[in-house]
Structure 1
Amino acid sequence: MKGAPENMNGATNGTRTTRRAVGIAGCSGGVFDRIEAIANLSKNPHVDVITGDWMSEMNMTFRGSSKIDREALGQENGGTTSYEATFIEALIPAIPDIAANRKKVVVNAGASDIEAMAKRVQQICKDKGTDLKVAWITGDDVTEKVTDLLAKGEEFLSLPADQPIQDWGWAPVCAQCYLGGVGVAEALATGADIVIGGRLSDASPALGAAIWWHQWSRQDFTQLAHALIAGHLIECSTYVTGGYYTGFKKELLAKNNCTNFGFPIAQIEESGEFTITKEENTGGIVSVDSVLSQLLYEIQGVYYHNSDVTAELRHIKMTQDGPEKVRVSGIVGHPPPPTTKVGITAKGGYQAEFHFFLTGLDIEEKRQMVERQTVASMGHYRKEFHTLTFTVTGSPAPNPKNQDEATVDLRIFAQTKNPDIISAGSNISVTPDTPCFARWCVENCLMGYPGSTPALDMRQAVGKPYFEYWVALLPQTEIQQQVHAFHGSTIDISPPEVTKTFPRQQPCSETENPLAPGSWGPTTKAPLGHIVHGRSGDKSSDANVGFFARDDEEWEWLRSSLTIPTVKSLLQDEYKGGRIERFEMPHVRAVHFLLKDHLDRGVNSTASYDSLGKNVCEYLRAKWVNIPTRYLDKGKI
């Protein structure tokens, strides 16, 4: 690959000069992340490349759908409705230091108009008096290709449920696929300082930067696999430096170390092995446990697939390599699959919600009364809601010491294709003579349950558009990926020549040679989370959850006890009969479960508060199990 980075040389061994490790930082895990990250990292001497992710399944859908709507109206794309403008807000104060310190920046932020964002960023860099060069990557918008394949009968089997898209019941309006890191490497090789993608896969910015720096070939699968996992660990910024970490009470909160978490830096070596660190003199933590927590987030099983490589996680190792420094090795590389993931968006209609507060006794009966009265008020309109749920969140404390302890939330959640009955069409207000969701919810208050109290802010009861989302696979040969260089040239990125077809289902097994029940001695009934760490997340409607033990002794108990039937039992009412897949990572004392199609359709359309699957783990850690008493005697997490 041309365009090798400057100042990358390390030690000389005989006639060969090894490249030093490349420092790749993660500056953003979403549109809401702290805006100062790029400016701070652009001054950091340990950082060569700053990566960031502003995209998610949620904004992919509404950005893509908005683009289609504008095109249908003959309007031009471009502007802040087309891309994630918060990236530009974060970039502007950093531009002088990026230029002065010759940093590289690679981001997922272009959404549905990557070119418009790139041209705006190029103009801003010029206006700032710098010579920074901007490139952008296209090919993720596969709406036309998917439409064509659907017309030819392609089934696009759902990844969570293996159902054909023809059974979905929704009309696709746009589609985006996930791109790998090779395009990033080519863009950097042209001399670009800032590279903008629309839907690179989460770990691809870091993977591409490492490919460029170390000049790896597309068949260097061991190196690529390690860099892919490095990208996975830093792509959600401070998740890996203490965010969402189940050891937060003792290691962060009790030490008053729970603010200003440092953004992570992956030092990726020429072999692919790497260390995770963070900005100096910042809050948060980099420990084996904090890094392992992020590893377990949103993985799907033994194999972590990307367009450029597949990483096998079964033998991964992590060691504390110094203060705030964790070394990662043992990842096995395989060729990538011949396919990549594609997200297909449909307009679902409109949704709204209304809340009541229930206090004290007879909570279920009060909920039933609200439901019966509301449905009766709807009359024949009830059939126009394809989703209508009445859900109580929380439970009153026994003999509560104050009113807050005695009060729970009742959420009425509705979805419909008819905007007029949800205050989103011709009737946008809630008035006595307007038949609408909010009116049907509130009009029964004076004949309501004891203490009937509605939430007085009606804004959530006014309907807003929502989207349905379908995740499937698309052959990489159907993608036309291109790098658009700052000097006007266009580089085609070919699909990988070496691929490997993997089964649709990940490998699944119970533990080998489990300890005999009871062999660990006396037990005490207590919450699993008193001694077990964990993490969970989502991919479409799949939820994943991983657990890890504090030491080798507790690992033997955990792997022997936490079986698929045990997890089904612990899920209790949350288990809806879906497939559960299990695998172990013994070197890090972790066991992982993939709960297929567990979430209600995913973040875009779910009726659940746990829209991102992040609370699945905390629910399971709260469940009481028989724990060896001597483990509890060591202290709680």
Structure 2
Amino acid sequence: MAMLAANHPNDPIDVLTGDWMSEANMTARATMKMAGGGDAYEPSFIEALEPALNDIARYGIKVAVNAGASDTALLAKVVTDLVATKRLPLKVAWISGDEVLPAVQRAQKEGRSDFSNICTGELLADWNFTPVYAQAYLGGLGIAAAFSHGADIVICGRVSDASPVIGAAYWWHGWNRDDHLLEMANALVAGHLIECSSYVCGGNFTGFKSLEPPQGNAGAGAGAGWSNLGFPIAEISPSGQVILTKNLSSAGGGEISTQTCTSQLLYEIQGPYYYNSDVTALLTSISFVQLTPHRVALHGVGAALPPPTTKIGITAPGGYQAELHWYPCGLDIGAKIRMLESQIRVLLHPHIQNFTLLQFQLLGLPAENPETQEAATVDLRIVAQALRAEDLGPGRFLRPCLDVIMQAFPGATPGLDLRLGFPRAVQEYYVTLLPQADIQHRVHLWDGSSLDIAPPGRCKTYPARQPSTPTPSPGNNSRDPSAKAFDFGPTVRGPLGWIVHARSGDKGSNCNVGFWVRRGGDEWEWLRGLLSVEGVKALLGPEYKEGGRIATDDDDDDDDDYADSSFG
């Protein structure tokens, strides 16, 4: 934030947005708040904001972030006090309404919803855990209202990842819900593309090897190759047109390309509809065009009304977990692990009925012909969970996992950092939907006044599951099964990643993976034939559990200018 704000004279930005929230810290901060265990906002936001504040004030940059986590009001006070200490003329507003456990409990009591889990179909009443906190994903119109009333910094809790961008564009361009649905949909996609910071600049990108600097330049420092990827900027026009670019001060590192944009687009996308509290973006015709280096235009976004509901995440204490690591080395790794597991299970037997989970997980494989001991060593993780901490006490887990050492396999070596071997609390997370009308979305201004944000007046109810489009049979370049098969010529067996990029993401129990090829034509026809439902099951191998649902969708536009051949 400090770099982007300080560089404003050379590379001006109007709004700094930040996404501090994830399912991990939603559960961790919620549990902390309910237990009175400390400040339940994200402290790294203050670390980022404080050195940027003087330049934010000097250049009139607005700020919208969701770093409030589970204590938005407290973070707003901390920021207000920080601004006052620096004697800066910045107005701080904050958003409430995301804390919705009472609304969920009322709806349950009144029988208005069974709150089925959108990933598993389970009913909340059948969940084996007791909810202590629930947060709703809010839209961006509260942020827009705060800016329109003069706020400089808007602190949010659980707004959706893209909501700060939607709110900023909505305010800046003076949009409204009735007349600018398509513009809002484009802003939603723009927000999704930049929400994860450097991801769209080449972070978490399977084409990362192309970012490596030439040999001899690896130590060139910031702005060289992959040592500093930089940060993205979304340029959003009044008509909703979007261009993705990056900050100029590190233009030599990382990249904004059709490839990196495709990668981030496919992150956590569950199908052709991308839902938000304010708008639904339609992704069936989306494409990217490389204009110049580090400048990519977004095209083809469609728009539809938002759903009447919004997603909520419910947190509950999930019991306790403990783990221990062993490090088998050398030959016969499989036999060594079987021996160790057999011995440990004998010692765990008196207590194992109280475990809700026990797994022996092999992490990694040794090199085929290792030249060093490190290359010949793997990590065996033994992890257990139980509802009560005493069921994972040292005498019931840690000691049984260690006491076999004198009868274990040759070279048996346990990890000696035993801190994870003692029980520590874990959380459970449940994802469902709540009507937006049940949420009191409110803006709190610096002068003590507040504004209520109404739910959308026009909505559309969507099917519970995204549509699934079967891909053709392997080797067939047409959805018509009677069409002539595509002739690929001689083939060589090898890793999918030789010619295919991929990006995955998860939300609760719901996962996605998107694949795309660098070129169209035969690469695309081969890929979409390979990734049928049965093909995906085969690739998952033993990790696919029978009964699990796999949905597929593909985009068959093979124009080489648009790296948009994707599968989700």
TM-score, length of structure 2 as denominator length: 0.92
Return the offset for 1:363. 2.0
Is 1:541 the counterpart of 2:505? The answer is no
Q: Alignment partner for residue 527 of structure 2, among 558, 570, 580?
A: 558
Tell me how far apart the structure 2 counterparts of residues 44 and 296 of structure 1 sit (CA, whole Å): 32
Return the offset for 1:46. 2.6
Residue pairs, 1:155-234, within 5 angstroms: 155-219=114-178, 220-234=180-194
- Which one is further off, 279-288 or 331-340? 279-288
Instruction: Report the count of equivalent residues.
Output: 541
Q: How has the CA–CA distance of structure 1 residues 40 and 258 changed in structure 2, closer, same or farther, with 3 Å as cutoff?
A: farther
In structure 1, stretches of 5+ residues that fail to align are 1-26, 28-35, 71-76, 424-429, 594-637
1:324 aligned residue:
294
Contact (CA 8 Å) 1:207, 1:228: kept in 2 or not? Answer: yes
Q: Alignment partner for residue 140 of structure 1, among 95, 98, 118?
A: 98
Q: Alignment partner for residue 98 of structure 1, among 48, 53, 56?
A: 56
Tell me how far apart the structure 2 counterparts of residues 167 and 572 of structure 1 sit (CA, whole Å): 31
Q: Alignment partner for residue 389 of structure 1, among 354, 359, 383?
A: 359
Q: Aligned partner of 2:564: which letter?
A: R
Return the offset for 1:43. 6.0
Q: Aligned partner of 2:235: which letter?
A: Q
SS at the partner of 1:377? helix
Q: How has the CA–CA distance of structure 1 residues 45 and 360 changed in structure 2, closer, same or farther, with 3 Å as cutoff?
A: closer
Contact (CA 8 Å) 1:316, 1:585: kept in 2 or not? Answer: no
1:64 aligned residue:
30
Residue pairs, 1:590-601, within 5 angstroms: 590-593=565-568
- Which one is further off, 278-287 or 143-152? 143-152
Return the offset for 1:516. 4.7
2:542 aligned residue:
573
TM-score, length of structure 1 as denominator length: 0.82
In structure 2, stretches of 5+ residues that fail to align are 219-224, 473-477, 558-562
Q: Alignment partner for residue 414 of structure 2, among 432, 447, 454?
A: 454
Return the offset for 1:141. 0.2
- Which one is further off, 583-592 or 158-167? 583-592
Q: How has the CA–CA distance of structure 1 residues 506 and 44 changed in structure 2, closer, same or farther, with 3 Å as cutoff?
A: farther
Return the offset for 1:246. 1.2
SS at the partner of 1:260? coil
Q: Alignment partner for residue 375 of structure 1, among 338, 341, 345?
A: 345
Q: In the TM superposition, what whole-angstrom CA distance separates every residue of 1:394-421 from its partner, at most 9, and x where no partner exists?
A: 2223333322222111100111122124
SS at the partner of 2:98? coil
Return the offset for 1:517. 4.2
2:79 aligned residue:
121
Structure showing the higher strand proportion among its residues: 1
2:465 aligned residue:
505
Residue pairs, 1:223-372, within 5 angstroms: 223-252=183-212, 254=214, 256=218, 257-282=225-250, 283-372=253-342
Tell me how far apart the structure 1 counterparts of residues 126 and 10 of structure 2 sit (CA, whole Å): 52
Q: Aligned partner of 1:60: which letter?
A: M
Q: How has the CA–CA distance of structure 1 residues 230 and 84 changed in structure 2, closer, same or farther, with 3 Å as cutoff?
A: same
Return the offset for 1:42. 5.7
Is 1:487 the counterpart of 2:487? The answer is no
Residue pairs, 1:21-40, within 5 angstroms: 36=2, 39-40=5-6
Q: Aligned partner of 2:118: which letter?
A: L
Tell me how far apart the structure 2 counterparts of residues 66 and 251 of structure 1 sit (CA, whole Å): 40
SS at the partner of 2:158? coil
Q: Alignment partner for residue 44 of structure 2, among 69, 81, 86?
A: 86
Return the offset for 1:473. 0.7
- Which one is further off, 231-240 or 41-50? 41-50
Contact (CA 8 Å) 1:39, 1:91: kept in 2 or not? Answer: no
Return the offset for 1:574. 1.4
- Which one is further off, 524-533 or 44-53? 44-53
- Which one is further off, 152-161 or 438-447? 152-161
Q: Aligned partner of 2:101: which letter?
A: T
Structure 1 vs Structure 2 CA RMSD: 1.8
Q: How has the CA–CA distance of structure 1 residues 156 and 260 changed in structure 2, closer, same or farther, with 3 Å as cutoff?
A: same
Tell me how far apart the structure 2 counterparts of residues 37 and 167 of structure 1 sit (CA, whole Å): 49
Contact (CA 8 Å) 2:528, 2:567: kept in 1 or not? Answer: no
SS at the partner of 2:349? helix
